[in-house]
Structure 1
Amino acid sequence: MTTSDLVGLRIKTVRRQRGLSQAQLAHPELSDSYVSLIESGKRTPTPAVLELLAQKLDCSLSYLINGVTAEQMEDIELALGYARLALENGEVSEARTRFTELLANNNLTGLTALRQDTEFGLALATQAAGDLDDSIAILHRLREEDDLSADRRVEIAINLCRAYRESERLTEAVEVGEQMISNTSRPAWNDLLVELGATLLAAYLERGDLLRARQFAAELLNAADALGTPRSIVAANWLASITAAATGHAEESVSFAERAMAVQLEHGAPRSVAIMRAALIQRRFKAWPSEAAAARDGLRQAIVEHEQTSTSTIDRARVLVELALAEAMTGDLDEAVEHAKTGKGMLAHAGSALGAEADLLLGKIYGAVNRLDEAKGHVDSVRDWLAPLPDSRRSAATWYATAETMEQLGDSDGAVDAYQRALACAGL
């Protein structure tokens, strides 16, 4: 049925419930033939006529348009607001439950925009919980709908590209981003498209397309400078920072990151500020490893900030593993072990480069204190994390570091296999 058919059917149903004829409903403002055409779906009433009919039928305008009463509409909007608030506050499990329960509400079926908002919210909550495959499936279903707004299509592309990238499915991440960016019917550069471009740029970097990444970073910076909006400036400068780091320009990387952070502090939400502050500490740590103690102290404070905001499970795990590395470099080995294990425990049990990095760090720490059995156990676990992942630059680096650690632990055969895996990931 079309929208006009459904509206007409609701008017007819309520009219009969009220015991009115078409002529009685029409008089004196409308003709009974016009009411007949509306009820049969052959005419689409104007907003003014719909409001008039709602008054004469003593029902809500919301019911005639959407098939739900004003009270039911209020309940749905309130439930959606609570679900969004839970997600913003970092209560990911509760948010996921609330979005799921709302989708089961039959009254939501005819409310296309609200139902799409709810499905999108569920996808974000699912992604924040680390269930990337489920999030991807929801986003794909939503993307197939014909009546999505232009902004919603870009938002879906951003989160689909991000979910693919975090799953190490880099070819698919690039395809999603490029499809939207190169679409001739897309709008001119705006905040959402710059954010999508930044997410695509991250996929280029992880895939090892450094020349393309460098060129695209410059394009995004030009677009952001032309827009002059805080959101675009943050996104473009942050990814320019990551690009500079990947291409060996450490000080330039920190400079871009600090510019992004300055704007984020003034305009960003607490969640975004928390994520960026931790990442900036990591960026400085990589540029100046001798400042491990400062990085350790900053990351310890970042843990508290992450716990107070709505950062995702993966975001918090990433900070814990980075903190463990800083603690290991400053000699706080017990703390390093605890944080690496906690971060690792927050991840899915397979298919995570971050999980591999956590186990590799644990292997190095235990090896350093001569607890060789535990060291070998953690290094062997790196295989379980990396094996399900497609080849990528990040996986190649982790396999190579694993091979070096295996050599140090006396596992020559394992080291040879890991070196071969590293070469395969690098396309050699």
Structure 2
Amino acid sequence: MTTSDLVGLRIKTVRRQRGLSQAQLAHPELSDSYVSLIESGKRTPTPAVLELLAQKLDCSLSYLINGVTAEQMEDIELALGYARLALENGEVSEARTRFNELLADNNLTGLTSLRQETEYGLALATEAGGDLDAAISILLRLREEDLPSERQIEVAIALCRIYRESERLAEAVEVGEQLLVGSARPAWTDLLVELGGTLLAAYIERGDLLRARQFAAELLNAADALGTPRSIVAATWMASNTAQITGHPEEALSFSERAMAVQLENGQPRAIARMRLALAQKRLEARPHEAAAVRDTLRNAVAEFEQTSTSTIQRARLQVELARAESITGELDQAVEHAVAGRNMLPKSGMALGAEADLLLGRIYGAVGRSQEAAAHVTAARDWLAPLPDSRRSAATWYATAETMEQLGDSDGAVEAYQRALACAGL
């Protein structure tokens, strides 16, 4: 049924409940033939006519338009607000429950915009809970609908990001390029720059560094033209990532610190938390002598992550990065504790982050002479990596695996891992 059919059916139903004929409802402002056409769905009433009919039928305008009363609409909007708040506060399980309860409410069926917003919220809550495949399924269903342009971009950003986190880089790139590449690309907006940043991250992950550098410059130009905090953060942060991966760590830090300064003034808690972690990672890589300060920053960030709706993957990344900083500062027991915690948050296979956690554990145990445990963790790292597609990150992690195996005296395993690293790099 079309919207006009549904509106007409509601008018007809209420008219009959009130014991009115079409002529009685129409008189004196409208003709009975016009009311008949509206009720049959052959005419779409104007807002003014709809308001008039609602008054004459003694019912709410909301009911004629959406099939729910004003009170029901208020209840739905209030429930949606609570679900959003739970997600923003990091109460992921509660948020997911609230979004699902809303979707089970029959009154939501005819409220297309609110229903789409609820499904989008459920996808984000599902992502935050670590169920990336389920989040992708929700977003793919949503993308098939006729969405407003802003919601279409938001769905693309989330889908591109989750595909990247799932190591499905070709699909991440495809989602971003559908909206951003080609002559049909709309004029730049904040949301499109954010989508561009997500796409750029996928280029970097799969090792397409030439395209990444070109696209980073394009995003910076777009952000400068827009002059908005949101676009500046997205473009500057991705320029930082590009500088880092192309061997310019201090330039990367400079870009990152500029982005963080803007984010602190204008960003949401979840975005600030994620950026704080990424900035600490860059700082540790560029200035390992500052490991103690980075460690303290990351320890403070644990509570911040728990209080916001950062995803399980992000919380795992925080734990692994904290373990890395602690291993540099010689706090090996704490490093082991955090590396294990991060690894245990992840799905059971196909995650480069899981391999990084087990490699770190292998190196720690190797350093204290516990060679059997070290070898077991290196084997576990190989298991994490084996199902992954070729990418820059996979190549780097295979290379680190090979180095660790070599340090542990497994020459044959090291040769095989080096070969996998070369294959992932396309060599």
Q: Normalising by structure 2, what TM-score?
A: 0.98
Bigger mean CA offset, 246-255 vs 102-111:
102-111
Q: Which amino acid aligns with 2:198?
A: T
Q: Deviations over 1:10-65 (max 9, x none)?
A: 11111111111111111222121111111111111111111111111111111111
Post-superposition shift, 1:124? 1.0
Partner of 2:36: 36
Give structure 1 regions of 4+ aligned residues with deviation exceeding 6 angstroms.
Answer: none
Q: Structure 2: how far apart are the matches of 1:117 and 1:270?
A: 21
Q: Structure 2: how far apart are the matches of 1:398 and 1:178?
A: 27
Post-superposition shift, 1:181? 0.3
Q: Structure 2: how far apart are the matches of 1:278 and 1:427?
A: 30
Partner of 1:65: 65
Post-superposition shift, 1:88? 0.7
Q: Structure 1: how far apart are the matches of 2:386 and 2:56?
A: 67
Q: Which amino acid aligns with 1:388?
A: P
Q: Which amino acid aligns with 1:385?
A: W
Bigger mean CA offset, 147-156 vs 357-366:
147-156
Percent identity over the alignment? 81
CA contact (8 A) 2:382 2:401 kept: no
Q: Structure 1: how far apart are the matches of 2:377 and 2:251?
A: 35
Partner of 1:116: 116
Partner of 1:96: 96
Q: Structure 2: how far apart are the matches of 1:298 and 1:386?
A: 29
Partner of 2:308: 309
Partner of 2:5: 5
CA contact (8 A) 2:257 2:279 kept: yes
Q: Structure 1: how far apart are the matches of 2:105 and 2:184?
A: 35
Which structure 2 residues correspond to residues 192-271 of structure 1 after superposition, within 5 A? 192-271=191-270
Partner of 1:139: 139
| Unaligned residue ranges in structure 2 (runs of 5+) | none
Q: Structure 2: how far apart are the matches of 1:80 and 1:354?
A: 34
Q: Structure 2: how far apart are the matches of 1:55 and 1:73?
A: 18
Q: Normalising by structure 1, what TM-score?
A: 0.97
Q: Deviations over 1:306-359 (max 9, x none)?
A: 223222211111111011011001100000000101111111111111111001
Equivalent position SS for 2:167: coil
Post-superposition shift, 1:290? 1.7
Q: Which amino acid aligns with 1:280?
A: L
Q: Structure 2: how far apart are the matches of 1:296 and 1:75?
A: 45
Partner of 1:371: 370
CA contact (8 A) 2:358 2:381 kept: yes
CA contact (8 A) 2:128 2:309 kept: no
Q: Deviations over 1:67-125 (max 9, x none)?
A: 11212211211111111111111111111111112111111111111111111111111
Equivalent position SS for 1:320: helix
Equivalent position SS for 2:325: helix
Equivalent position SS for 1:198: helix
Q: Structure 2: how far apart are the matches of 1:81 and 1:362?
A: 42
Q: Which amino acid aligns with 1:403?
A: A
| Unaligned residue ranges in structure 1 (runs of 5+) | none
Which structure 2 residues correspond to residues 378-389 of structure 1 after superposition, within 5 A? 378-389=377-388
Q: Which amino acid aligns with 2:158?
A: N
- Shift of the 103–130 alpha-carbon distance from structure 1 to 2, 3 Å rule, reads same
Q: Which amino acid aligns with 2:243?
A: A
Post-superposition shift, 1:412? 2.8
Q: Which amino acid aligns with 2:62?
A: S
Partner of 1:19: 19
Q: Structure 2: how far apart are the matches of 1:118 and 1:412?
A: 54
Partner of 1:287: 286
Figure out how many residues of one structure are paired with residues of the other and give that number: 427
Partner of 1:50: 50
Q: Which amino acid aligns with 2:63?
A: Y
Q: Structure 2: how far apart are the matches of 1:304 and 1:79?
A: 27
Equivalent position SS for 1:256: helix
Post-superposition shift, 1:405? 1.1
Post-superposition shift, 1:183? 4.8
Which structure 2 residues correspond to residues 348-367 of structure 1 after superposition, within 5 A? 348-367=347-366
- Shift of the 80–184 alpha-carbon distance from structure 1 to 2, 3 Å rule, reads farther
Q: Structure 2: how far apart are the matches of 1:302 and 1:209?
A: 31
Q: Deviations over 1:369-408 (max 9, x none)?
A: 1111211111111122112211111111111111121122
Q: Structure 2: how far apart are the matches of 1:335 and 1:98?
A: 37
CA contact (8 A) 2:249 2:286 kept: yes
Equivalent position SS for 1:23: helix
Q: Structure 2: how far apart are the matches of 1:78 and 1:202?
A: 36
Q: Which amino acid aligns with 1:292?
A: A
Q: Structure 2: how far apart are the matches of 1:253 and 1:295?
A: 16
Q: Structure 2: how far apart are the matches of 1:159 and 1:186?
A: 19
Partner of 1:148: 147
Q: Which amino acid aligns with 2:268?
A: A
Q: Structure 2: how far apart are the matches of 1:159 and 1:365?
A: 36
CA contact (8 A) 2:322 2:335 kept: yes
Partner of 2:128: 128
CA contact (8 A) 2:176 2:196 kept: yes
Q: Structure 1: how far apart are the matches of 2:337 and 2:98?
A: 33
Q: Which amino acid aligns with 1:133?
A: D
Cα RMSD (Å):
1.2
Q: Which amino acid aligns with 1:270?
A: P
Bigger mean CA offset, 31-40 vs 232-241:
31-40
Bigger mean CA offset, 61-70 vs 178-187:
178-187
Partner of 1:323: 322
CA contact (8 A) 2:236 2:256 kept: yes
Partner of 1:416: 415
